[in-house]
Chains A and B, each alone.
Chain A
Amino acid sequence: AQTVTQSQPEMSVQEAETVTLSCTYDTSESDYYLFWYKQPPSRQMILVIRQEAYKQQNATENRFSVNFQKAAKSFSLKISDSQLGDAAMYFCAYRNFMEYGNKLVFGAGTILRVKS
């Protein structure tokens, strides 16, 4: 079974600074997807960024980018120019590529606090 580990329960960053959230995962599969989701106090999970394991190039979405290290099974999220609206719980998630169905396996989450 696949597992996702987020070792940082809580992180803080100053507004306009850069912060990196860590995620490691365990799988025997070679093809899979990795995601970062954001859950603000409103509770609605929002997709931040998505990475396909077969792509060597790291995904980027505006101020959000990932460092995907397939051999190390590591998938960190970098948030540049942090804004107050980035404060939320961030979840790393995994999904098999070939599995029938698209269930997500989530980590325990990292609370991100942004200081003004």
Chain B
Amino acid sequence: DAGVTQSPTHLIKTRGQQVTLRCSPKSGHDTVSWYQQALGQGPQFIFQYYEEEERQRGNFPDRFSGHQFPNYSSELNVNALLLGDSALYLCASSSDSLAKNIQYFGAGTRLSVL
């Protein structure tokens, strides 16, 4: 049983560019959350998708957008990249129908903005 998978592993972009990160949830999970983890800090919640809709959103600008597909996989898009967007982006999946509703994390995508 594959866990949460994210691609790519590493990414280098320049300021002003756009980037798309991808996430496949753990089998049986229908909810995907995205977090940004700056170096040496704890993850910060970006948004969560359920039934192809954005269900919750953290304090991130509209440059951060996402999508969830019918197979529950998800994308995170960031437009007009800034140097401060350099971080590890973590995807987590869970299932509302499971009693414990625990979030399982992928290994992340390391984004460097030059």
Contact = CB atoms under 8 A, between A and B. Distances in A.
Interface in B61-95: 88, 90, 92, 94
A108 B42 contact: yes
Interface residues of A, number: 22
B9 to A, nearest CB: 9
Interface string B44-64: 110010100001101000000
Nearest to B44: A106
A65 B95 CA distance: 25
Contact of A107 (B40, B42, B45): B42
Q: Is the interface of B mostly helix, strand, loop or mixed?
A: strand
Contacts of B88: 43
A102 B58 CA distance: 12
B105 A45 contact: yes
Given A102-B48, A105-B45, A107-B42, A44 B31 contact: no
A64 to B, nearest CB: 15
Q: Is the interface of A mostly helix, strand, loop or mixed?
A: loop
B33 interface: yes
Contacts of B110: 43
Given A43-B108, A44-B105, A102 B94 contact: yes
A104 B56 CA distance: 11
A108 B46 CA distance: 16
A43 B42 contact: no
Interface of B: 31, 33, 35, 40-45, 48, 50, 55-56, 58, 88, 90, 92, 94, 96, 100-108, 110
